[in-house]
Amino acid sequence: MPTGEIKLEESYSKLIVRKVAFILIGVGGLVVLALLASTLGTYNLGVKEVAHSVAHRVFPFAGFQSTEVIDTVMWKLRLPRIILAVLSGAGLALAGAVMQGAMRNPLVSPFTVGVSAGAAFGASIAIVLGVKFIGATGTGIIIVNAFVFGLLTVLVVASLSSRKGMKPESVILAGIATNYFFSAATSALQYIATDEQLSEVVHWTFGSLGKATWENITIVTIILLLSIVPLMKYSWDLNTMAQGDEVATSLGANVGRVRGICLTLSSLIAAVIIAFTGIIGFVGLVAPHITRMLVGTDHRFLLPASCLTGAILLLAADTIGRTIVSPIIIPVGIIVSFVGVPLFIYLLLMQRRGYWS
């Protein structure tokens, strides 16, 4: 049946073309959105001014003109914020997609394994007790503490569950237990905190991009780039692991090892982002689902496409958050759920079949 043969392969190849097209459209959409976001704000800029200011810095000898005020707004405030939004959205979504795949569980996000609870505890210690790691100072204390405790919880979860062979159930249960522990510890700190400290802790947990700097952008970029390569390499293993550990093993995956590495890398990404931004939930849980509805479950496409979805979602949310009742800025952690939930529910209802049916 040679005709049937060609038809089957072609229809699969068409599907792949569609997935790639989705990703390219996503890239285009993100660029447009970033451009739009850079013109919006209390100091309104035109597209031309934005372009000139960027070109002025990137190609200093090309003769593009820009004023100092515009440069300051762009390079000190708007661009770092936009880029951190893109990186954080991409990183949290990537971490979520990897976690869900590695645990074979659609309800998992980097937070399930305790990253956010640990980070919140670390930040609270810094704010309430002033305890610090590695001699950091000022807001640096909060960042370093959040990061260290975020990762510490994952180490606890990983070492507990590795004694049970890294089964998805044991990872999730160990994660939930650790989560509760650190949440309780944070509550205890809030209980003894002064009003001022309490308000700072609560503000930290809202999650905001207000503290974006080129330094933290550099750090997040490095971590993301270092992690995404091995994670992409495990795409096939993650695909087979969705069919169950036994099947994945029989198809050649070293399931325990892959799960451990995925857990570690995605937690590292989440911890470094949360340390800089505070807790931004929702993206890590839902962006992968939105992406699966658009490009399917093959991790070779799901992982990069999730990065795009997360980046678009978080940038859109932050742009709305800082313009809707300007000059008041609503933290992105709050807005992102308001923006994302309707989108998610819409896609869920529009989905013809297959997804959660």
Per CB under 8 A, residues contacting another protein are: 1, 4-5, 7-9, 11-13, 15, 100-101, 104-106, 233, 235-236, 239-240, 242-244, 246-247, 249-254, 292, 296-298, 300, 353-355, 357
By beta-carbon proximity to another protein, the closer residue of 292 and 322 is 292
Comparison of 49 and 298: residue with beta carbon closer to another protein? 298
Nearest to another protein of 8, 184 (CB atom): 8
Give the three-class secondary structure for 144: helix
Shortest reach from residue 242's CB to another protein, in Å: 4
Of the two residues 1 and 62, which places its CB atom closer to another protein in the complex? 1
DSSP three-state, residue 341: helix
d(CA 21, CA 287): 18
Look up residue 90 and give its amino acid. Answer: A
Q: How far is the CB of 305 from another protein (least distance, A)?
A: 14
Shortest CB 341 distance to another protein, Å: 21
Output 8 or 129, the one with its CB closest to another protein: 8
State the minimum distance, in angstroms, from the CB of residue 297 to another protein: 4
Residues 347 and 11: their CA atoms lie apart, in Å, by 24
Which tokens sit at 293?
């509805």
Residues 270 and 279: their CA atoms lie apart, in Å, by 10
CB 245 within 8 A of CB 255: yes
Complex with another protein: residue 19 or 81, whichever CB lies closer = 19
- Between 213 and 250, CB nearer to another protein: 250
Rank residues 159 and 254 by Cβ distance to another protein and give the closer one. Answer: 254
201/212 Cα distance (integer angstroms): 18
Give the DSSP letter of residue 251. T
Quote the least distance from Cβ 99 to another protein, whole Å. 13
Which residues, at least 6 apart from 20, have a Cβ–Cβ distance to it below 8 Å?
Answer: 301
CA 220, 226, 230, 235 dihedral sign is positive
Q: Shortest distance, CB of residue 234 to another protein, whole angstroms?
A: 10
Shortest approach of another protein to residue 11 CB, angstroms?
Answer: 6
d(CA 192, CA 198): 9
Query: Residue 235: which of 182, 306, 177 has the closest Cα?
Result: 306
Q: What is the DSSP string of 54-91?
A: HHHHHSTTS-----HHHHHIIIIIIHHHHHHHHHHHHH
Minimum distance from residue 91 beta carbon to another protein (Å): 21
Alpha-helical runs (H) found in the chain: 2-39, 47-58, 68-72, 79-103, 115-124, 139-162, 168-192, 195-206, 214-233, 235-241, 245-250, 255-277, 283-295, 299-323, 332-350
Q: How far is the CB of 114 from another protein (least distance, A)?
A: 21
- Please, which residue, 112 or 216, has the CB nearer to another protein? 112
